[in-house]
Chain A
């Protein structure tokens, strides 16, 4: 069998799809726009709910790849159909393939779009991703002036469930990530005060509720209210305002650091590929799958499959499952052709 498949995007879903397709005997071309594989997970320190290192998972995926043609720092510019096959244009070269799997993933919500939260304006307002890099490099959060924070607030739903920034959907993973990170801050800095400002805690996965309980045990304070605005205090501290909806009173806390739990957003650069393939985005801007229940890795375009967070917010487990499914569907498609 000499049939070839292009996998576009080298994050968790792309890696797992490539591994499975390779096992099924296909020539796989993996295109990754960044200079390394692993996607967003590559930059993460630890994963919920087990809190194992993200690198374990990424390394394991990378190690299982053998004969995949990996194209790093390669942005796919164009996909054309030609005689039942596809021509994938990337970095000035054209590659002919028989099927396509889109595993383009997502982008983190650009937090500066939510101006009142102060990201990019107040220096100690950071994103969840930036906190992960702090954990990777220092093992603990650090303020811009080098000091260790004593009061930290996690803000849930930044760029999720918010029609004002055109992200009306729930990003699924931020609640549990916030709880995980709150525990980690508490563990790294036991004397610190840690707050989580949430609207609803959506602890839907196995072990998630346990993490929530663990956070309570470790002394994280949960406040049911969405952040409305921030302002800066002396010494770079940040004043945050929310309503404590459970006592129906406005509430303010001055903290050293604010962590914005940025949601998953559709990747603007996939828009062009979707146009090439005559595919539509769904209401949230992610790639529309053919049948949400029965064909969740098909698209309306023949020979084009999808897996991972490019179809909507996903955790790693869901992405891996989707990758398996997509690989199998590609196999069915190419053997029946």
Chain B
């Protein structure tokens, strides 16, 4: 094929019709409190790892809920599992279990 120098413009949009929400479903099944986040950011604000690196538990959960699992799984390995976020969360989300489940999912991928 002759290269005319044109490509199809990548679409920068979250397409929820096509999003792969399997990880979100799996985590919700094992840890129902995954659904309860109100995106207040307490977890990521208090995060021991977040002081040193780009890691936000809240954002990670959000990525999973929007089907952007690969991004989320990569992020999850920065967590030190210290549990501070569990103490901060106003919605009693079981944060450490979610990290474990995301990390487990990485192993099976």
Interface residue ranges, A against B (CB under 8 Å) = 116, 157, 161-164, 199-200, 224-229, 241-245, 248-251
A199-B38, A228-B45, A243-B42 known; A163+B91 contact, CB < 8 A: yes
Contact present for B45 and A242 (CB under 8 Å)? yes
User: When the two chains form the complex, which single residue of A116, A157, A164, A245 contacts B41, counting CB atoms closer than 8 Å?
Assistant: A245
Residues of A within 8 A of B54 (CB): 249
Residue B103 CB within 8 A of the other chain: no
Is there an interface contact between B58 and A245, defined as CB atoms closer than 8 Å? yes
Q: Chain A contacts of B91 at CB under 8 A? A: 163
- Establish whether residues B90 and A242, one from each chain, have CB atoms under 8 Å apart when the complex forms: no
Contact A242 B41 (CB under 8 A): yes
- Mostly helix, strand, loop or mixed at chain A's interface? strand
Query: How many residues from B make CB contacts under 8 Å with A?
Result: 22
Determine which residue in A224, A226, A229 has the highest number of CB atoms from chain B within 10 A of its CB, and name it: A226
Q: Which residues of B contact A (CB under 8 A)?
A: 38-47, 50-51, 54, 56, 58-59, 87-92
Given contacts A226-B41, A226-B45, A248-B58, 11 further A-B contacts (CB under 8 A): A157-B40, A157-B90, A163-B90, A224-B41, A227-B42, A228-B88, A241-B45, A242-B45, A243-B45, A250-B47, A250-B56
B56 touches A199 (CB 8 A): no
| Cross-interface CB contact of B58 among A116, A163, A164, A243, cutoff 8 Å | A243
Q: How far is the CB of B2 from chain A (nearest CB, A)?
A: 43
Partner of A228, one of B46, B56, B59: B46
